[in-house]
Structure 1
Amino acid sequence: MGARPLGRIREYRALPFDGKEAFMARILLIDDEPNVRLFYATALSECGHEVEEVSSGSEAMQRLEQQPVDLIVLDIKLGRENGLELLQEIIHRHPRVPVILLTAYTSFQDDYTCWLATRYLVKETDVTTFLHEVEQVLDATRRMAS
């Protein structure tokens, strides 16, 4: 994680996003690694998003039942849990919520859409690209809702 300094977040925030104001969203971040959650939660929060962090599928489903979210960022491997099974449960219960798969595994990169995920990012993706992808998904969601 050290290769992605958080100082670049401020650079990203200064970039115009298609000339529009950024959409501030409630994002559920699901990852079993505390350092990964901290890194991405900090990046998203610095961009003005409200981030809920959980480490397991059961926590994620509980949070989703308690409060709606605008976007889910999900790791494929959650300790002993299968993130793809969780993805299917999320899609079944909350079909309108976009899901970005964020994982260390590159093997699903070509067929992530068959799992009905909105985007697929490898954890080695730099923070600027990650934030840009988040904003693109949120912008598309906002346009579809209006």
Structure 2
Amino acid sequence: MKKILLVDDDTSIQLLYREEFVDAGYEVVCAYNGDEAIEKFKSDRPDLVVLDIQMPGLNGIEVLRQLKMENAAVPIILNSAYHEYKQDLGAWASDEYVVKSPDIGDLLKVVRKYLGE
């Protein structure tokens, strides 16, 4: 079973996304901030990361940079409610950028694409 690290400080988003990913057949590990994400990335070895940008402490762009240095082969999908981050040069290191939506169909398509399903 493929493992997704879901990083978001919004508990309602985490609950929604986690349920959808589990229903789709994935194991999900959650982190609420950047420091926790880095720790879980190292310990849980996910197959893919879904990463929010706006979080307290380290933001998603900083976390993205650190995760790519740790293991560049793991796909990282930035998932933000803000379109303007698409233009941030730091975001270009991500494998995909998906704007948040209550309908996670687009995000799920991208996850399946990178997990080879």
TM-score by length of 2: 0.90
Q: Secondary structure at the match of 2:64?
A: helix
Q: Secondary structure at the match of 1:62?
A: helix
- Aligned mates of 1:102, 1:50 — CA distance in 2: 18
Change (3 A) 1:31 1:97: same
Aligned match for 2:95, one of 103, 107, 118? 118
Q: Is the 8 A contact 1:88 1:115 kept in 2?
A: no
1:138 maps to what in 2?
A: 115
1:109, distance to aligned residue in structure 2 (A) = 2.6
- Aligned mates of 1:31, 1:115 — CA distance in 2: 19
- Aligned mates of 1:119, 1:49 — CA distance in 2: 19
Q: Secondary structure at the match of 1:79?
A: coil
1:41 aligns with 2:18: yes
What percentage of residue pairs aligned between the two structures are identical?
Answer: 33
| Largest Rg, 1 or 2 | 1
- Aligned mates of 2:106, 2:29 — CA distance in 1: 21
Q: Is the 8 A contact 1:26 1:71 kept in 2?
A: yes
Q: Secondary structure at the match of 1:72?
A: strand
User: 1:1-146 counterparts in 2 under 5 A?
Assistant: 24-110=1-87, 115-124=92-101, 126-139=103-116
- Aligned mates of 2:39, 2:57 — CA distance in 1: 18
Moved beyond 4 Å, runs of 4+: 110-114
Count of aligned positions? 117
Cα deviation 1:16-63 (Å, max 9, x = unaligned): xxxxxxxx4100000001001111111100001000011011111111
Q: Is the 8 A contact 2:6 2:28 kept in 1?
A: yes
- Aligned mates of 1:75, 1:126 — CA distance in 2: 16
Q: Which amino acid aligns with 1:50?
A: E
The worse-fitting range, judged by mean Cα deviation, of 103-112 and 78-87 is 103-112
User: What residue ranges of structure 2 are gaps of 5+ in the alignment?
Assistant: none
